[in-house]
Amino acid sequence: MSEQAHHDEHEHHIVSPKVYVVIFLALLALTSLTVGASFIEMGIFNPIVALGIAVIKAVLVVLFFMHVKYSTKLTKLTVGAGVFTFFILIGMTLADYFTRAWGRW
Amino acid sequence: MSDSPVLTQDALEAAHHEHPPYQRHHFETMDQQNDATNFAMWLFLLTEIMFFGGLFTAYLILRNWYYPAFVAASHQLNVYWGSLNTLVLISSSFTMAMGVWCAETRRKSGLVLCLTLTFLLGLVFLGIKTIEYSEKIEKHHVPGFHYSLQSFLDPASDPAAAQYGDKPLALDMARKTELYFFLYFAMTGMHALHMIIGIAILGFMIFRARAGAYTTGHVTFVENFGLYWHFVDIIWIFLFPLLYLISRHQ
C-alpha cells in the first residue's frame, strides 16, 4: 500500500503557484490588450482580434488553471474531442444558415 | 476477479485490498479513481460547452442577420463595468487555482483563505452584474417587459447611444434590438446562474475545508470544483468580447 501511495503522489502533478501567477498576469495583460484594442478602429479586424485574444486566454486557462497540460492522455483526448465536435456542430449550423438564401437574389 | 462463482470468505477478504478510506471500493487504485472522476467532470463540462455553444451560435447568426440592431443595442452596455467584471472573474479563477494548490500541499488555512476570496470575488461579480441589470431595467431594455425602443429610434435622447454617434434605426430594425437583449439576458443570466451555483458550493466547501476535509490528501472535490469554476470563467472570457467589445466601432 505504501508503494501504491508513493506511486500516486508521483503520478499526481502539482502545478506550482509560480505557474499560476504567470498565467494570472498573462490573463490580466491580455484583458487590457483586448479592451485597448476595442478602442482602436480596425474595421473587420475588431471582432477577429477580440476573439483571437479570447481564444488565447481560454487556452491558457484550460492548459494551466485546469491542468490539462499535465493531465492524462484520456483527459487531453476528451477535451480535444469535445472542442472538435463543438466546431463541427457550429460549423454545420453556420454553413446551413449562411447559405440558405444563395441563388435566390 | 475470480473464475469461481462462489467466493469463500477468505477469497472475499483477499479481494478486499488495502486502500485509503477515500478510495471507492470498486476502483483498483487511487490513480484509476482520479482518472475516472477527472474524465467524468470533463464529460460534464463538454455538455456545458454544447449548451452555451448553442447560445453563442444563435448570437452569431442573429448578429449577422440584424447587424445594425445588434451594434446599436451593444452600445448600451458599459465597457468599464464589463472590463471590471472580467478582472474580478479572472482574479477569482486565480484564487481558485491557488486553492487547489493549497489542498494538494495540505495547507488548511491557505485553502480556507483561497476559497473565501473566490467566494467573495464571485459575489462582487454578481453585484456588478446587478448594477448592469438594473440599468437595463430602468431603461426598459428587458425584452418582453414594456420594452422601449426609444434609445434606438431616437439615439440623441440617450447619452449611452449618443456617445457612439448612433444613427436612428428604422422601426423594423430597431425592434430587433429586443433580440439582442434577449440573448444578452439569456447568456449572462445563464452564466450568472452558474456563478450562483458555484458560490453556493463554495460556501459549503469553506465550511468543510475549515473542518479539514480537503487537506488529508484527497483533493478530488476541490480539483473538480476548480474545473467547474474555471469553465465558468472561460464562458465569460468569450461573452465579454462578443457582447461588449466587438461592436464599439461599427
Among candidates A64, A82, A93 on the partner chain, residue whose Cβ is nearest the Cβ of B49: A82
A49-53, A96-100, B104-108, B193-197 — which is least confidently predicted?
Answer: A96-100
Q: How far is B30 from chain A (nearest CA, A)?
A: 7
Residue A7: predicted pLDDT: 46
Residue B8: predicted pLDDT: 61
The answer to whether B222 and B99 have CB atoms below 8 angstroms apart is yes
Determine, for residues A35 and B245 on separate chains, whether the beta-carbon distance falls below 8 Å.
yes
Do residue A103 and residue A90 come from a single domain?
yes
- Amino acid identity at B11: A
Q: How far is A104 from chain B (nearest CA, A)?
A: 16
The domain tally of chain A equals: 2
Determine, for residues B42 and A79 on separate chains, whether the beta-carbon distance falls below 8 Å.
yes
Which cell numbers hold the place of B240? 465579454
Residue A100: predicted pLDDT: 86
Q: Does A98 touch chain B (CB under 8 A)?
A: yes
- Amino acid identity at B60: L
Residues in A touching B83 (Cβ below 8 Å) = 31, 35
Residue A10: predicted pLDDT: 44
Do residue A44 and residue A18 come from a single domain?
yes
The answer to whether B31 and A11 have CB atoms below 8 angstroms apart is yes
Among candidates A54, A72, A86 on the partner chain, residue whose Cβ is nearest the Cβ of B238: A54
Do residue A47 and residue A92 come from a single domain?
no
Q: Residue B18 in 3-state DSSP? A: coil
Do residue A32 and residue A7 come from a single domain?
yes
Do residue A15 and residue A30 come from a single domain?
yes
The count of CB pairs under 8 A between chains A and B is 147
Residues in B touching A11 (Cβ below 8 Å) = 31
Quick: pLDDT tens for A59-92. Answer: 999 999 999 999 989 999 999 999 999 999 999 9
- CA B231 → CA A58, A70, A75, B178, B223, distances in Å? 9, 17, 15, 28, 12
Do residue A49 and residue A84 come from a single domain?
no
Residue A78: predicted pLDDT: 93
- Amino acid identity at B145: F
The count of other CB atoms within 10 Å of the CB of residue A103 is: 5
Do residue A43 and residue A93 come from a single domain?
no
Under-70 pLDDT residues of chain B: 1-17, 250
Question: Is B230 buried (19+), middle (13-18) or exposed (0-12) by CB count in 10 A?
Answer: buried
Residue A8: predicted pLDDT: 43
Residues in A touching B39 (Cβ below 8 Å) = 74-75, 78
Hey, what domains does chain B have and what are their CATH numbers? 33-245 (1.20.120.80)
Cα–Cα–Cα angle for B187, A28, B127, rounded to 5 degrees: 45
Q: Does A84 touch chain B (CB under 8 A)?
A: no
Do residue A57 and residue A104 come from a single domain?
no
Cα–Cα distance, B133 to B127 (Å, whole number): 10
Cα–Cα distance, A28 to A57 (Å, whole number): 9
Do residue A37 and residue A82 come from a single domain?
no
Cα–Cα distance, B31 to A4 (Å, whole number): 9
Do residue A54 and residue A86 come from a single domain?
no
Which cell numbers hold the place of B75? 452600445
Do residue A77 and residue A67 come from a single domain?
no
Determine, for residues A46 and B248 on separate chains, whether the beta-carbon distance falls below 8 Å.
yes
Residue B204: predicted pLDDT: 96
Q: What is the DSSP letter of B141?
A: -
Do residue A20 and residue A33 come from a single domain?
yes
Cα–Cα distance, B135 to B151 (Å, whole number): 13
Determine, for residues B101 and A75 on separate chains, whether the beta-carbon distance falls below 8 Å.
no
Which cell numbers hold the place of A69? 497540460
Closest to B2 (Cα-Cα) out of B17, B11, B32: B11
- Could you tell me the residue range of the domain that residue A13 belongs to? 2-71
Chain B residue with the nearest C-alpha to that of A48: B246
Average pLDDT over residues A3-23: 72
pLDDT at position A6 over 50: no
The answer to whether B227 and B100 have CB atoms below 8 angstroms apart is no
Chain B residue with the nearest C-alpha to that of A36: B245
pLDDT at position A57 over 90: yes
Which cell numbers hold the place of B23? 478510495
Residue A67: predicted pLDDT: 92
